[in-house]
Amino acid sequence: KVTMKGLQERIRQEGLILSDTVLKVDSFLNHQVDTELVLQIGQEFKRIFGHQPITKVLTVEASGIQFAMAAGIALEVPFIYAKKKKAVTLSEAVYSAPVHSFTRKEDYLISISQKYLGPEDKVLIVDDFLATGAALVGLVDIVNEAGAQLMGVGCVIEKSFQEGRSLLEDKGVAVHSLARIASMAPGEIRFIDEASS
Ligand code: G4P
Ligand code: NA
Ligand code: NA
């Protein structure tokens, strides 16, 4: 079973701090993927959110996909990943939202087909990183556009020194992150020591 301490330890041992704000976890979460750990993360999201009648898990391609799938397996519901497109007109019937990427300094659209989300759905949003929150806010907008009910946002790693959590909480969203980083510098990562919240 993944413990929050265990995930923190793994991040300490294998995480590479590339700058004041960028943490690489390519050896076990984001490029090479530890499949057992990811399935355990899915179970943890079930423990946190599973008392609610969730019908769909939602994420954005690409690096949210394995975590959304793990949550979907644990909750026994489908997951959907929003696709990223250049900001051009979309042909099919889609819900879409503009996202500003602060790292790439450009705007793009995320979209999902209207076939797969509607007013009957109760949605859990999942992602790997909670950073600026731009993509997650786009997903929240899509859930609202679909008339679905948002049950919460679950992230694997939160960089609590960035503004994503407060952006989401200002919209009334329940945010739970499995590892919350208060600050980081080469050789030193400080976590906010709470199991989840
Ligand atoms: P975001 O907070 O809405 O994700 O937007 P931001 O512009 O800050 O981040 C751009 C991309 O970089 C996002 O990936 C985000 O998950 C990822 N990211 C942010 N901080 C970190 C970090 O410290 N480490 C790593 N490894 N990634 C980080 P994305 O848009 O989901 O793209 P993709 O990588 O899934 O294709
Ligand atoms: Na990413
Ligand atoms: Na992501």
Place of tokens 């999942």: 126
* Per-residue confidence (pLDDT) for residue 33, from 0 to 100: 98
What is the mean pLDDT of the segment spanning 65-73?
98
What is the mean pLDDT of the segment spanning 56-82?
98
pLDDT band at 187 (very low <50, low <70, confident <90, very high): confident
Burial 120-159 (b: 16+ CB within 10 A, else e): ebbbbbbbbbbbbbbbbbbbbbbbeebebbbbbbbbbbbb
Pick the atom of ligand 1 nearest to 131's CA: 2
Mutate to test the pocket of ligand 1, among 21, 103, 141, 158 (most ligand atoms within 8 A of CB): 103
pLDDT band at 197 (very low <50, low <70, confident <90, very high): very low
Q: Which ligand is nearest to the CA of 132?
A: 1
Q: What tokens appear for 194 in the block?
A: 């709470």
Domain ranges within the chain, ordered by starting residue: 38-180
* Topology adopted by domain 38-180: Rossmann fold (3.40.50)
* Per-residue confidence (pLDDT) for residue 87, from 0 to 100: 59
Pick the atom of ligand 1 nearest to 135's CA: 3
Is 131 within any annotated ligand binding site? yes
Instruction: Report the mean per-residue pLDDT for the chain.
Output: 93
The pLDDT tens digits for 122-172 are: 999 999 999 999 999 999 999 999 999 999 999 999 999 999 999 999 999
Which residues contact ligand 1 via a Cβ below 6 A?
22-24, 30, 60, 62-64, 101-103, 128-129, 131-136, 159, 164
Is 132 within any annotated ligand binding site? yes
Three-state secondary-structure class, residue 75? helix
Does the structure show a pLDDT above 60 at 196? no
Does the structure show a pLDDT above 60 at 195? no
Beta-carbon contacts of 20 under 8 Å, excluding residues fewer than 6 positions away, are: 184, 185
The pTM score is 0.95
Choice between 196 and 156, residue whose per-residue pLDDT is larger: 156
